[in-house]
Structure 1
Amino acid sequence: MEGIVSSPPTDGISDLSFSPAADLLAASSFDNQTRIWEVQGNGSTVPKAAIQHDAPSLCCTWSKDGTKLFSGGADKAGKMMDITTGQSSQVAGHDAPISCARFVENVGSPGTMIVTGSWDKTVKYWDLRTPNPAFTLQMPERVYSMDVQQPLMVVATAERHLMIYNLNAPSQVFKQLTSPLKWQTRVVACFPNATGFAIGSIEGRVGIKMAEDKDSALDFSFKCHRDDKNNVHAVNAISFHPTYGTFSTAGGDGTFSFWDKDSKQRLKPFPAVGSSISATAFNRNGTIFAYAASYDWGKGHEHYAQGTPNKIFLHATKDEDVKPKPAKPKR
């Protein structure tokens, strides 16, 4: 199956997120909306609802039980939709655009909180029962990407800073690092088992980094998303398979690949789709891989062509493409 999502966004797609509880796909986009589709068994999609912002929508994320969808925007507002009622309300705010967000469970107190990262150089925790942030973390620079796999939280900012947190002590920095990659960070994604994370940069390179110093012998980085003319493309998205722990990378060259970090090999490359891939997501059991073909703004607004398509594809994963493989024997 290589399905295509019906009624796609009308402008650049900034983020994709699948519900952990059902085959509902959310996409945030530069047309000021975060939309939801239901993905049916045959791969067709039905538009269900949308969260409206006053400026581009930059990120979206689901609660663990799938009842709530959060959307963060360039309007500095974080909005949450209750899926059972379809009602949306503002639950978070920053002094600059909200670039990323994640739900966390039982951090500091029982219940669900939302963590938001912003270009205002802060990360804020929001207890949904009160209007003000539970606490605010000062970041060294603007927040570009963030991921959580409890208890691990990794925040990536401008100037290649990485802030690592153990959510058992959510307001204390566990470790502050400089990215192992030499160029600007585009994306960070935590391993499903929370022992480390992958980081992608604008120069077609991915770093694999363990959270604990004692495991640092397992750190490495590799090149990807470079074409045969030696052009280097940004790694825009990294998504981990929820059951196998393998991962995807997708880039400005319009290709995506599946990788196994433990055996350090590429499992399966896929051909270019004709425009850059800006966002990716696996569904809850890893049988569907969604990817957005959309301008990624990597070359600035002057290279944006009117009429550039914005499409979301649904790829049915094959086990042999995403399952870990034994390491190749050394010659």
Structure 2
Amino acid sequence: MSSAEQWELSSPPFDSISAVRFSPTNPDQLLVSSWDTTVRFYDVVKNEQKCKFDHRAAVLSCCFAEETKGYSGGLDTSVRQLQLDTEKSTVLGQHDNAVSGLVWSKNTNALITGSWDRTIRFWDPRAAKSTQVHDQPERIYFMDITDNNLVVAMASRLFYIFDIRNMGSPGQQRESSLKFMTRALACMADGQGYAAASVEGRISVEYFDPSPEVQEKKYAFKCHRQTINDVDHVWPVNSLAFHPVYNTFASAGSDGTVSIWDHKLKKRMRQYQKYHSAVPSIAFNSTGSYLAVGVSYNWDEGEEGGRNAERPSVFIRKVGDEVKPKGWSKS
């Protein structure tokens, strides 16, 4: 499935993909973490794997700090700093359980990690140690950050919204408006709110401003569903990503599809051609010109489905006007 509009990266992971993440400064650089215990660093335009880093167990999350530095964590409980120019990795420290989420705060130059050990930790990479530990009431599944707002999705459908300058207590505590387990989280590019998704094919659109008039705008909708022979099939929504320019967003599901949504008009703008397996992770690059699509079997159908699964793939899709809202202007 390679063409001028989309190409497949060479040297993909050997096991399911957990995260694809573009550099915040270089639109051509991509990190891919995998259950095969690796983090791979690519130049997507040259279609070249530049280097690979190893963990001792499956890697669940990765992120960039800058062009030459990345971070990763997973089931081996370690938080690793990846020096992308020298191809060396160092262990910053440990959680007491799996590291499920990493985000880089450019406002404070700190790495923030979340874990199944029910803690959020802040790290100063220069000191190579954890500088803050904040206990939480539940296991942390996902985190995302916009400006100083840190959104934390936990077990029991619990959401905390922190101001990272004051981590003593969350600014807001919310219960998910979706009835089932949270599977994906992404903050809006304009910093106004976030979207979350669940295992039963629904997405909720939420806003930070607690005023009643703004909260009236929030809503949830069904997606990644299909009726086949009069039977309704519902797939988990695995990943969400907001476009950095237009603030529209993409959703990816276990049905192998990626859709583009205008959340203000509450409508789907585009659905791309179906991929060969589930889509566990997607990401727009910093300019919004490419969408990375990680495609791999993600065990929704257990071991039996895994026997016939294709090797994972990472596709890079050129993004055009299909992500641009009608009547969009910079003002």
Which TM-score applies when normalising by structure 1? 0.92
CA distance in 2, matches of 1:302, 1:311: 20
Q: Cα offset for 1:326?
A: 5.4
- What number of residue pairs does the alignment pair up? 318
Higher mean Cα deviation, 50-59 or 126-135?
126-135
Kindly provide the amino acid, as one letter, of the partner of residue 114 in structure 1.
L
1:1-331, aligned counterparts within 5 Å?
1-22=5-26, 23-40=28-45, 44-63=46-65, 65-107=66-108, 112-214=109-211, 215-229=214-228, 230-305=232-307, 307-319=309-321, 321-325=322-326
> What secondary structure, in the 3-state scheme, does the structure 1 residue paired with 2:215 have?
helix
Q: Cα offset for 1:306?
A: 5.1
Q: Cα offset for 1:201?
A: 0.3
- Contact 1:51–1:71 (8 Å) recurs in 2: no
- Contact 1:37–1:48 (8 Å) recurs in 2: yes
- Contact 2:113–2:122 (8 Å) recurs in 1: yes
- Contact 1:263–1:326 (8 Å) recurs in 2: no
- Contact 2:107–2:147 (8 Å) recurs in 1: no
After superposition, the C-alpha distances for 1:259-285 in whole angstroms (9 at most, x for unaligned) are 111111111112321211011011111
Report sequence identity in percent: 35
Q: Cα offset for 1:302?
A: 5.0
CA distance in 1, matches of 2:137, 2:292: 33
Distance 1:52 1:171, change over 3 A: farther
> What secondary structure, in the 3-state scheme, does the structure 2 residue paired with 1:164 have?
strand
CA distance in 2, matches of 1:283, 1:106: 20
CA distance in 2, matches of 1:142, 1:222: 26
- Contact 1:263–1:325 (8 Å) recurs in 2: no
- Contact 1:16–1:281 (8 Å) recurs in 2: yes
> What secondary structure, in the 3-state scheme, does the structure 2 residue paired with 1:218 have?
coil
CA distance in 2, matches of 1:92, 1:239: 29
CA distance in 2, matches of 1:245, 1:133: 33
CA distance in 2, matches of 1:288, 1:154: 25
CA distance in 2, matches of 1:87, 1:34: 12
After superposition, the C-alpha distances for 1:2-31 in whole angstroms (9 at most, x for unaligned) are 100001001100000011122111100011
Structure 1: which 5+ residue stretches go unaligned? none
Which TM-score applies when normalising by structure 2? 0.92
CA distance in 2, matches of 1:124, 1:325: 41
CA distance in 2, matches of 1:167, 1:325: 35
